[in-house]
Amino acid sequence: QWIPAAMIVLAVTNVPQVAGAQSIGVEPLSSGEIQTVRNLADRKNPENLLRSDAQLRLLIKQAHTFSPLLRELNYAVEAAEQDINVAKGARAPQVTIRGSSTMVTGGIPTANRASGLPYFGVNAAMTVYDFGRIDSTVKNREARKDAAGARYEQQANQVAIETTTVCLEYTKRRALLSAVEDYSQTVQKLVDMLTKVVEADPGRKAELVQAKSRLLQSQQSRESERSGVEQFRIRLNRLIGPDNAFM
């Protein structure tokens, strides 16, 4: 997948507000479209640039959704919000309802019965002035919520940057692999041609040896690039989760 550097910068600078591909007016890519190899010759096409931007935004959103640490921090923000509500609830009236009745014990357990009228009572209490204790508690818990939100945003940015970096490197490695494979095929054709030439002109055997050496080097480079592509594919899959994995 070809991701232009300009689109990557645009996506990272808007990480906290990522809301999927709909935010830029295009339909989100399906999992099959995400795994489709782009034609590198068309990377300057405006439509492809727009789709690349949408694809990167979708990858970042998937990484945010999958990240265990982000989920944990999100729960911390929600818990802090509930703590604020509890602190504010201390201002509300506290109502207590009580009830009782007198039981007369008989000779056997089933002979127990109520004696007299049951008693019910309702008590209501409300804090009139607490010397600022509730306000201080609310402010303290609001500060905790802000701190939790800041940690979440910081981690979200880190996930987005890591996803973007790995995606960019994955794209670069695939482009290099494509170039190396083309070069290796070209050298293979040269070797095949020189093999036939040497059969008719043995004096050009040295050229064939040099061509075979270049072929071995290109094959070694190809395997190295394949290993790099696989390495970054695995890293990208670990970021976005198995449900969205690149095959």
- What mean pLDDT is predicted for residues 161-173? 87
The alpha carbons of the chain give a radius of gyration, in whole angstroms, of: 35
Q: How confident is the model at residue 48 (pLDDT cuts 50, 70, 90)?
A: low
Q: Report the alpha-carbon distance of residue 211 to residue 189 in Å, rounded.
A: 10
Residues 5-17 as b or e (16 or more Cβ within 10 Å = b): eebbeebbeebee
What is the amino acid identity at position 17? Q
Q: How confident is the model at residue 38 (pLDDT cuts 50, 70, 90)?
A: very low
What is the amino acid identity at position 69? L
Q: Report the alpha-carbon distance of residue 168 to residue 5 in Å, rounded.
A: 8
Whether the CB-CB separation of 70 and 64 falls below 8 Å is answered with yes
pTM of the model: 0.61
The larger pLDDT score, comparing residue 55 to residue 205, is at 205
User: CA-CA distances (angstroms) from residue 194 to 41, 184, 188, 191?
Assistant: 31, 15, 10, 5
Express each pLDDT in 53-105 by its tens digit.
Answer: 777 888 888 889 889 999 999 999 999 999 888 888 877 777 888 877 665 55
Strand-pair category, 94-104 with 113-125 = antiparallel
Partner residues linked to 104 by β-bridges: 113
Return the percentage of the chain with pLDDT > 90, whole number. 17
- pLDDT for 30 beyond 50: no
